Amino acid sequence: MGEPARHTEGPRRSELASRRLTRALRSTAVVVGTLALLGATGVVPALAAPAQPGLAAVSPDFPVTVTISSVQPPAPTAGDSLQISGTVTNSGSTPLKAAQVGLSLGRGSTPLANRYAIGTMLARTDPASADGKPLAAPVSPVGDLAPGASTAFHLPPVAISDLKLDPSEGSAVYELAVQVQAGTNDDPASHEVGIARSVLPYFSDPKDVPQKTQVATVWPLTHQAELVTQTLDTDQSPVLRDDSLATDLAPNGRLGQLLSLGEQIPSLTWVIDPALLDAVTAMTKPYRVQLPGHSGEPAHSDNTVAGTGTAVATHWLDELRHAVTQKGDEVVALPYGDPDLASIAHNGSGLSGLSTVLGKAQVAGQVTVEGRLMVDPVGDIAWPYQGALDPQTAQVAQQLGGSKIIVSSASVSDPQLSYTPNAARPLPNGQTALVADSTIADLFANDLATPEARSAAEQRFLAETLAMTRQQPSTQRTLLVMPPRNLTAQSAQTLQDALLKSGQWTNPVTLDTVAGTPADPATADTTVQPADAYPAALRAGELPSSNLGQVADVQGQMDLLLQILTNPGRVSSPFSAAMMSSVSTSWRTDAKAGDDYRTNVSKNMGQLVNAVSIPKKSNKITLAGNEGVLQVSVKNDLTQPVINLELRLTSNQPYRVSVSKPQNISLSSAQSVSAKFLAQAQGNGVVQMTAQLYTVGPNPQPYGEPVKFSVEVSQVPNGVWWVVGAGVLLVLLAGLRFFLQRRKRKGEPDDDPDAPLVDPDAPDGAGEALDAEDGPDSRPSAGSGTNPPESDSRPTPEGTAAHP
């Protein structure tokens, strides 16, 4: 049984070795060919695509996944010892025998030539000859690994002097590779089964960088809008949509940690949404929180609960005031609510109400930050989402007063230089682009929740900034670091560590310093990428035109409401703030919360507008006669008086029924009045009337919904016909009586035809002679005369007309 095995073992090993050699040669050819081409053209791109070092793709020939969780120190100097730890996992289906972890420096300890070389190296997956051979030490045995098994490793410390770095290179960036070797049942000989790559920034001598790179870091303090427009009906306490901000402000919360970490970074640029400061200020006093499911309702004690964040909000705000006044720090006030510039540019065309909202954002932002923090903030900085820019977004930024724009380097033209140019670059429209390095920005774009992710980001940051400084060590240049708005606490901790550890070749400065540094001459023709180059993934997350239109409608309703209020500030302040927050960039990451917030604002505005209205009429009104009074009620359910209103009553058939002129309306809070209109009818029938409130002023506008009702006109009232009928009946009865009396006296001599008629039944001396030309109808009736009695014209619940 042993003999056949000996015959097959050699060919199998040869086949495996051949495959490994082929892969190595292929990888080497790609790298060498690329670098040769770059060397021939003399052009090395300054920016490289982001990669996740420390994690290699798994393939059948290399089944081990290796992660690097710690490199200490991250940027060693001469005399240091290097120690690396991490995890190895057998992701394949075959058991591995006697696995051990080793260390190698790529390219035979030759430094990576530039930033492009760093990106190219980290993009590789399988092992390649460019990774170099494992060093004799350090080595860490990890034993057998069953399929799916994972184990941690800790390489013994190794002195930097033992790495045999090229002394002629001085400070440089090297490939740092952790390789795993093991055998299998089919191939017992130890061979490479996995690799993880990182970078080793080595700083040997301060003389290597006579001019440190000036690095400005924007430190965002933003949060989704929390203050709603409602206040508690009893004591006007502020109301928040939830209490999540209290959690974020706590010392262990996201904003609490961002504040404490930022305080330790010198010359930091704090970028603050003023709406956050207003919400925190509101929380420093007793406040209420909406209960779930009650968004859009008026706030009462039964649909809100007491907020819990007063103490943490007070402490956080005090700490922030102290932090931003430290020597060398700078505060940038975003437009109030941090409006989503790209969404507005791409989807807000033609919405005049939205332009009004944006017109307030810049001034309100600066005033709010100045008032809350007692500092003089910078107010001419625009920051589109993730720094993505196109011409339309730049135009909206300019309308908002953004003469300087924080831009990702991916959104501007690349001058194809062999070094990274200064961050400030002029744009053709007169604005200045403050260009943030996209490779570095991408390192912190996601939550660095694991030690492996944090180590990879920190090593890459240190390597990129050292390589950048070494490109032109005698020429000082500027770099802008742009983390995301929703920077997490763990990512912020990693960024802070990296900034402080790079201090040997970088110098922290404010954004204002970067903006004031002359642009590199090679970037004089910088242009913004065209609209069709705007990232499709970012465009898909924009606020649609329907959302923006909803905000514009609220603005129009508020403009109308403010014209009639005696205390407009109680409405304009909270609703202006809410509308600016309704188009916030923060809703990009939580569209549903944004929809709920806008709906709450819209519903509350509708409730306020409808609180001043004309109650609907349920019955038909009858107008008996040629004239009558029509009464229309107006109610005010607001807690403040209203003025500047006019009530108009119009007829759809004015030639049949006309009404008197409009009437001015003024109402105290919680009051109703009835306005009386004189109606004149020209004919019978049903006529439709429309009651509508209008604002008073140079440009009257309809206010609220019109109320329509019907008026039935009857010029000869039904009661008159009864009177006429009764009179006719009396005349007939009188004639019948005279006829019967004459028959009774039949046979008696005829009376003298010229004698006056006398009632034979009248008492003696009481009969009166009737003038032959007079009749019963000639006597004045009780209802005749020119001054009939006034009918009750007081208003009725349904506004029924009363006859005068």
- Over range 194-223, report the average pLDDT: 94
Run of H or E including 62: none
pLDDT grade for 743, boundaries at 50, 70 and 90: low
pLDDT for the residue 185: 87
Q: Could you tell me how many residues make up the chain? A: 804
Cα–Cα distances (Å) from 651 to 485, 695, 708, 714, 737, in that order, read 58, 20, 10, 16, 53
pLDDT per position as a tens digit, 534-548: 999 999 999 999 999
Q: How far apart are CA 58 and CA 496, in angstroms?
A: 32
Among the listed residues 431, 610, 459, the one whose alpha carbon sits nearest the alpha carbon of residue 526: 431
Res. 750: pLDDT tops 70: no
- Does residue 29 surpass a pLDDT of 60? no
pLDDT at 715: 66
Distance CA 407, CA 801 (A): 69
Quote the pLDDT of residue 762. 39
Task: Give per-residue pLDDT as tens, 408-430.
Answer: 999 999 888 889 999 999 999 99
Measured distance CA(447)–CA(241) in Å, rounded = 25
CB neighbour list of residue 632: distance below 8 Å, 6 or more residues apart: 614, 647, 649, 674, 675, 677, 691, 707, 799
Q: Kindly report, residue by residue over 2-13, the tens digit of the pLDDT.
A: 333 333 334 334
3-state secondary structure 480-496: EECCCCCCCHHHHHHHH
Does 737 score more than 70 pLDDT? no
Least confident of 8-22, 108-122, 277-291, 535-549: 8-22
Residue 738: predicted pLDDT: 63
Over 432-452, what HEC string results?
Answer: EEEEECHHHHHHCCCCCCCHH
pLDDT at residue 721 greater than cutoff 60? no
Positive or negative, the CA dihedral 469, 471, 472, 478 is: negative
Q: Which residues contact 268 (CB under 8 A, 6 or more apart)?
A: 217, 219, 262, 329, 330, 508, 510
Contact 676, 793 (CB under 8 A): yes
Q: Which amino acid is at 254?
A: R
Closest listed residue to residue 704, CA positions, set 662, 646, 630, 631: 646
Region 45-51 average pLDDT: 39
Q: CA 90, CA 408: separation in Å to the nearest integer?
A: 39
pLDDT value of position 326: 83
Predicted pLDDT at 136: 87
Q: Contact, 341 vs 382, CB < 8 A?
A: yes
CA dihedral 781→786→792→794, nearest 10 degrees, is 170
Q: Are 638 and 612 in contact (CB under 8 A)?
A: yes
HSE toward the beta carbon, residue 770, CA cutoff 13 A: 13
Classify 70 as helix, strand or coil: strand
Global pTM exceeds 0.85: no
pLDDT band at 187 (very low <50, low <70, confident <90, very high): confident
Instruction: Answer yes or no: are the C-beta atoms of 715 and 625 closer than 8 Å.
Output: yes
Residue 555 has pLDDT above 80, yes or no: yes
pLDDT of residue 202 exceeding 80, the answer is yes
Cα–Cα dist 562/574, whole Å:
13
> What are the residues whose beta carbons fall under 8 Å from the beta carbon of 727, sequence distance 6 or more?
777
Residue 107 has pLDDT above 80, yes or no: no
- Residue 709 pLDDT exceeds 60: yes
d(CA 30, CA 27): 5
Report the pLDDT value the prediction gives residue 37, as an integer from 0 to 100: 32
- In angstroms, the Cα distances linking 163 to 108, 130, 155 are 10, 17, 14
Compute the distance between CA of residue 106 and CA of residue 167 in angstroms, rounded to an integer. 16
Residue 739 is predicted with a pLDDT of: 60
Residue 332 CB contacts under 8 Å (≥ 6 apart), including other chains: 218, 269, 270, 271, 272, 377, 378, 379, 381, 511
From the CB of residue 90, how many other CB atoms can be counted at a distance below 10 Å?
Answer: 25
Q: CA 653 to CA 715: how far, in whole Å? A: 16
Give the N- to C-terminal CA distance of the chain in Å, as an integer.
127
**Top-confidence residue, 730 or 406:** 406
Least confident of 231-235, 274-278, 376-380, 578-582: 231-235
Is the per-residue pLDDT at 32 higher than 50?
A: no
> Where residue 726 falls among pLDDT bands split at 50, 70, 90?
low
* 484 vs 491: CA distance, rounded Å: 10
Q: Is residue 110 classed exposed, middle or buried when 0-12, 13-18 and 19+ CB atoms within 10 A define those classes?
A: middle
Average pLDDT, the chain: 84
SS3 label, residue 707: strand
Instruction: Give the pLDDT confidence of 149-163 residue by residue, as tens digits.
Output: 999 999 999 999 888
pLDDT at 365 over 90: yes
% of the chain exceeding 90 in pLDDT: 69
Q: What is the pLDDT at residue 225?
A: 96
Residue 657: strand, helix, or coil: strand
Supply the pLDDT for residue 193: 93
CA pair distance 52, 27, nearest whole angstrom: 19
Q: At what angle do helices 254-262 and 310-324 cross, to 10 degrees?
A: 20
Q: Is the pLDDT of residue 800 over 50?
A: no
- DSSP helix/strand/coil, 3: helix
* Range 685-707 average pLDDT: 94
pLDDT, tens only, 634-692: 999 999 999 999 999 999 999 899 999 999 999 999 999 999 999 999 888 999 999 99
> Which is higher by pLDDT, 296 or 493?
493
Q: Does the pLDDT value for residue 472 go beyond 70?
A: yes
- Burial grade of 292 (CB within 10 A; 0-12, 13-18, 19 or more): exposed
Q: Is the pLDDT of residue 763 over 90?
A: no
**pLDDT the model gives residue 732:** 63
